[in-house]
Amino acid sequence: MSELVRMEGIDKSFPGVQALKRARFDLRAGEVHALMGENGAGKSTMMKILSGIYPMTAGDILLQGRPVEISSPRAAQDLGIAIIHQELNLMPDLSAAENIFIGREPKRAFGLLDDARLNADARAIFQSMRLDLDPRTLVGSLTVAKQQMVEIAKALSFRSRVLIMDEPTAALNDAEIADLFAIIGRLKADGVGIVYISHKMDELKRIADRVTVMRDGEYVATVPMAETPVSRIISMMVGRELAEDARPHLPEAEGEVLLDVRSLNRGAAIRDVSFQVRRGEILGFAGLMGAGRTEVARAVFGADRRDSGEIRVSGRPVDIRSPKDAVRAGIGYLSEDRKHFGLATAMSVRDNVALASLSRFAGRLGLLKEGAMRDTARRYVGELSIKTPSDEQEARLLSGGNQQKVVIAKWLLRDCDVLFFDEPTRGIDVGAKAEIYKLMNALAAEGRAIVVISSELPEVLRLSHRIAVMCEGRLTGFLPAGAAQDEIMHLATMRGGSAPDAAGETR
């Protein structure tokens, strides 16, 4: 295969941070080249340089053997380089065709938009992808998977020969992932080179030809994916052998019930859901996308109003109508979307840690005790091993795993007895995952009640003492630790039937 891209000696500095140090990467035509590393390793920075989002401090980029300067995203597009970000960049109120050709729409006489040609050109790209999609459909009405296909079509409209995909399957189910992989296979056959950033080893084993590992902003190695054990890739990423943490012990049967949810309902999203979580227990919630797991967490936390149902904390009924009520009752919620609902990303680590507990830092005349906030933030930075230059660093500049730790610190400071973790390791590398798992086990060991919602079955099975399974808004069953994945999938696809009670008995 011919070489499409070579990046050599790439340096990139931000204020106070050396993000890349003599890093390198190459891509061949017709291959999927995985780029891996812990959060903060420099993967995204490297690809943002290639796609013209960041200028490099030093280094060389060669495209098909010729030196090039990539000064902007438009310059990258003109060179045939396109990037599809994890957070899609589409306009929901425009059609698929309008999104693909935004700013490059075909015109008729007098500058009028040529709708017929616009839709025909978009349809031709969809047909080349073997994608059955009406180009006139509003993007806002499409599933995330279909929106991702529109992003790929947009990239192909620039005749891109280099396609960068950042965590492309983060919000897709198994069927949608299979569709995406089929399209990637066709792009490979057409000679497109694909850079694939992901933390999901099972996916990479299926689709990647080679893998390059980065650590702390530096190049580690490039190896063939098929011939390299997962354990070796992980050790290259973290710089050490990563031992598996033992499965936590089951709680004592007579342990106190901290959270008791009875007959929770909210429209069709939550239908007669009851469950209990004991002190020191981790209860996993499993189910397919749209099963209602996040909706349950949001209703318990007061982020969404419930139609009916009773919530008890330590045996006492609590009236939760807002997140403020939930926090007062000792319930914390780590959202699946930490950037929008867990963090104030433009604020410092220090301010984010204090955000849910500002009253304890109130001084005279309503002024905040900055010194106490700083000392508290630094204590949690140390206890949770948060990698940050200082407590004054903006949260948006931290890696995903360290952002998650800041959110955890916020709720630990609030001293919540019940904690909901919704997709706690989404977009987080294997090293940071192990740290989050260890932390959650420690919280349970301290006597907190933990609810974990995850789309990754191995994660649910590894962490949970018991597993609650949902399908179409209903709880379809409880499973013990050590259950098989097919048992979970059976309950996750079980429509109707008798709902279990809060303790896990079928009614």
Return the beta strands (E) in 385-455 as ranges: 418-422, 449-453
- Comparing CA positions, the residue from 206, 207, 168, 170 lying closest to residue 188 is 207
- Angle between helix axes 144-157 and 115-128 (nearest 10 degrees) is 100
The band of 507, judged by pLDDT with boundaries at 50, 70 and 90, is very low
pLDDT per position as a tens digit, 470-484:
988 999 999 998 888
Give the H or E element holding residue 257.
Answer: strand 257-266
Contact indicator for 469, 301 with CB cutoff of 8 Å: no
User: Measuring CA to CA, how many Å separate 88 from each of 307, 342, 494?
Assistant: 33, 20, 32
Which residues of the chain does CATH 3.40.50.300 include? 3-227, 257-492
| C-alpha span between 482 and 397 (Å, rounded) | 38
Average pLDDT score over residue span 183-195: 93
What CATH homologous superfamily does 3-227 map to?
P-loop containing nucleotide triphosphate hydrolases (3.40.50.300)
Residue 366 has pLDDT above 80, yes or no: no
Amino acid 297: pLDDT: 94
The band of 492, judged by pLDDT with boundaries at 50, 70 and 90, is confident
Instruction: Quickly count: other Cβ atoms within 10 Å of residue 107's Cβ.
Output: 11
Backbone phi, psi, residue 449, to 5° = -100, 125
Instruction: Quickly count: other Cβ atoms within 10 Å of residue 451's Cβ.
Output: 26
Average pLDDT score over residue span 173-190: 86
Average pLDDT score over residue span 23-47: 90
- Comparing CA positions, the residue from 446, 447, 487 lying closest to residue 466 is 487
| C-alpha span between 283 and 277 (Å, rounded) | 7
Amino acid 506: pLDDT: 42
| C-alpha span between 389 and 350 (Å, rounded) | 12
Average pLDDT score over residue span 427-437: 74
| C-alpha span between 125 and 152 (Å, rounded) | 10
Token couple for 53: 């989002």
Q: Who wins on pLDDT, 245 or 31? A: 31
Contact indicator for 78, 68 with CB cutoff of 8 Å: no
Lowest model confidence (mean pLDDT) among 42-51, 56-65, 151-160, 184-193: 151-160
Average pLDDT score over residue span 115-125: 93
Average pLDDT score over residue span 406-434: 81
Amino acid 496: pLDDT: 55
β-bridge mates for residue 58, sequence order: 11
- Give me the half-sphere count of Cα atoms (radius 13 Å) on the Cβ side of residue 393: 21
Q: Who wins on pLDDT, 249 or 271? A: 271
Residue 212 has pLDDT above 70, yes or no: yes
Buried b / exposed e along 357-386 (16+ C-beta atoms within 10 A): beeebeeeeeeeeeeebbebbbebbeebeb
Average pLDDT score over residue span 234-254: 58
Q: What percent of the chain has pLDDT over 70?
A: 92
Average pLDDT score over residue span 53-69: 95
| C-alpha span between 145 and 168 (Å, rounded) | 9
Residue 291 has pLDDT above 90, yes or no: no
Q: Who wins on pLDDT, 407 or 265? A: 265
The band of 39, judged by pLDDT with boundaries at 50, 70 and 90, is low
Residue 194 has pLDDT above 80, yes or no: yes
Rounding to the nearest 10 degrees, give the CA dihedral for residues 143, 149, 153, 159: 150
Amino acid 59: pLDDT: 96
Place of tokens 């349950």: 296
Average pLDDT score over residue span 91-105: 92
| C-alpha span between 113 and 117 (Å, rounded) | 9
With 0-12 / 13-18 / 19 or more C-beta atoms within 10 angstroms meaning exposed / middle / buried, residue 178 is exposed
Amino acid 246: pLDDT: 44
Return the beta strands (E) in 117-198 as ranges: 162-166, 193-197
Contact indicator for 255, 309 with CB cutoff of 8 Å: no
Token couple for 52: 């013209």
Q: What percent of the chain has pLDDT over 90?
A: 46
- Mean pLDDT for the chain overall: 86
pLDDT per position as a tens digit, 449-473:
999 998 878 888 888 999 999 988 9
Amino acid 310: pLDDT: 96
Average pLDDT score over residue span 365-386: 85
The band of 245, judged by pLDDT with boundaries at 50, 70 and 90, is very low
State the CATH architecture for 257-492. 3-Layer(aba) Sandwich (3.40)
Average pLDDT score over residue span 400-422: 85
pLDDT per position as a tens digit, 300-355:
999 999 999 999 999 999 999 999 999 999 999 988 777 777 788 889 999 999 88
Backbone phi, psi, residue 113, to 5° = -65, 130
The band of 500, judged by pLDDT with boundaries at 50, 70 and 90, is low
Eight-state DSSP code of residue 216: T
Residue 38 has pLDDT above 80, yes or no: no
Residue 253 has pLDDT above 50, yes or no: no
Contact indicator for 446, 391 with CB cutoff of 8 Å: no
Contact indicator for 443, 437 with CB cutoff of 8 Å: no
Amino acid 252: pLDDT: 52
Give the H or E element holding residue 231.
Answer: helix 230-238
Total residue count of the chain as it appears in this document: 507
User: Measuring CA to CA, how many Å separate 97 from each of 134, 163, 183, 195?
Assistant: 9, 20, 19, 25
The band of 192, judged by pLDDT with boundaries at 50, 70 and 90, is very high
pTM of this structure: 0.60
